A and B are shown apart, each in its own frame.
Chain A
């Protein structure tokens, strides 16, 4: 019961702040709401009994990546007059088709997962380690090794790309 109340409260906050992120005029405020959003997502993880993921969520997203967002926002000074913004209807078609695709995807997932029998993703009994942190590590290097490596490759590519973009004269 308490769990459910906490979950719905946190979920409502997440959604509310997410709406604020995209609806706020001031870019810095929007970034701040994003931080709050991340903090509540971390709270959700704690609720799910995954404190390691929660701490990483705060450390990496709230503490690292959003600071960089802020850095960029402050550097490029986006406080332009409203008329300088591009026409909101210009990218409308692309936006709609993208969100439609996402919606379809979500629907498909919901549809097929309801058909499948509900199985726990990582049955604790099969793991030789106990403790949240150890379990995350175990899963990451056994069942999800290939996705993990692919993600790291992607990050590497992104990093090289960023360096190439920034240091064009090299």
Chain B
């Protein structure tokens, strides 16, 4: 790495400071490592180093049978495990052409959206914490706890749910669960306003987020950003709308988009997603159909030879599964995940160039990456 001296006139020659942020650092959200080249506090260039949490989930999956993989997908985006389960199960269902009953698709939708709220709660907490507002963190975790309780009642786990099966669900809903979900929705409505009260019109928050890490819609598409970072730049791309899966076809919801493409717009987009998710949950819970929860699934899961790519909208962005079956063995021949965090994190380097160190942590938070998913 060549470090050219920066010339401030003829008298002073100052060299750049190379600073290693992470993998152990309070605001790199796990084990992200960013090597910053600084001119004073300004970031001249950065190298984003990942792989500290690489567990070889793709390779492992190629040596597990189709059902065992569900629990590996939990371990990727561990703050949105149910979404990962849904994406994987739907991909296998697509490969095997299994029809999933409507009730199961509704429940999947509810879980995906609850998971989106839980994930965004974690995001808003840590993002605000990175910018120095510590109280939002505990407020958001208070609400996330309610969601985790709901999930615990549903499938017995609080973080890695293993809550889907190929063709449907392992268990039906516990009695009264839908009532509790609706109760949660009414609590959450007021809590979102609480977060907004602390942040949205706060002058310091505005100064710290407006105009920080601006990326145009075209650049965001070229960089492969997806999810809120892409929508914050004004590109109305949402897999739930564009390529509907689960029961999203039957749901009424809006895709919020930003205009400026800065950290503040990404923040606003996610806040609005809270509300849209609640809207979807209410619709799905109210219109929850009766019926079976598992479709016609063969005893031995062995999809015919072929390959497919299926994407869903995880809280982080487009979560795609590319799976190749050889039609002979009981495990996938190739199991590939398109992790949204990985692709979004790629945008970090262009975003932080020219900003200050304090903005680096704001931008890492604004991209909302989970290192379990980045490194797999």
Contacts and interface: CB of A to CB of B under 8 A. Distances in A.
Q: Do chains A and B touch in the complex (CB under 8 A)?
A: yes
Interface of A: 75-76, 165, 168
Interface in B1-53: 9, 11-12, 14
A9 B89 CA distance: 85
B12 A76 contact: yes
Contacts of A168: 9
A75 to B, nearest CB: 7
B9 A165 contact: yes
Contacts of A165: 9, 11
A75 B14 contact: yes
Contacts, number: 6
6 contacts: A75-B14, A76-B12, A76-B14, A165-B9, A165-B11, A168-B9
Nearest to B13: A76
Contacts of B9: 165, 168
6 A-B pairs with least C-beta separation: A168-B9, A76-B14, A75-B14, A76-B12, A165-B9, A165-B11
Contacts of B11: 165
Contacts of B14: 75-76
Nearest to A167: B9
B14 to A, nearest CB: 7
Nearest to A75: B14
Interface in B118-161: none
Contacts of B12: 76
A76 B11 CA distance: 11
A168 B7 CA distance: 12
A75 B14 CA distance: 8
Interface in B290-349: none
Nearest to B40: A75
Contacts of A75: 14
A168 B14 CA distance: 16
A80 to B, nearest CB: 12
A165 B12 CA distance: 11
A165 B9 CA distance: 8
Nearest to B17: A77
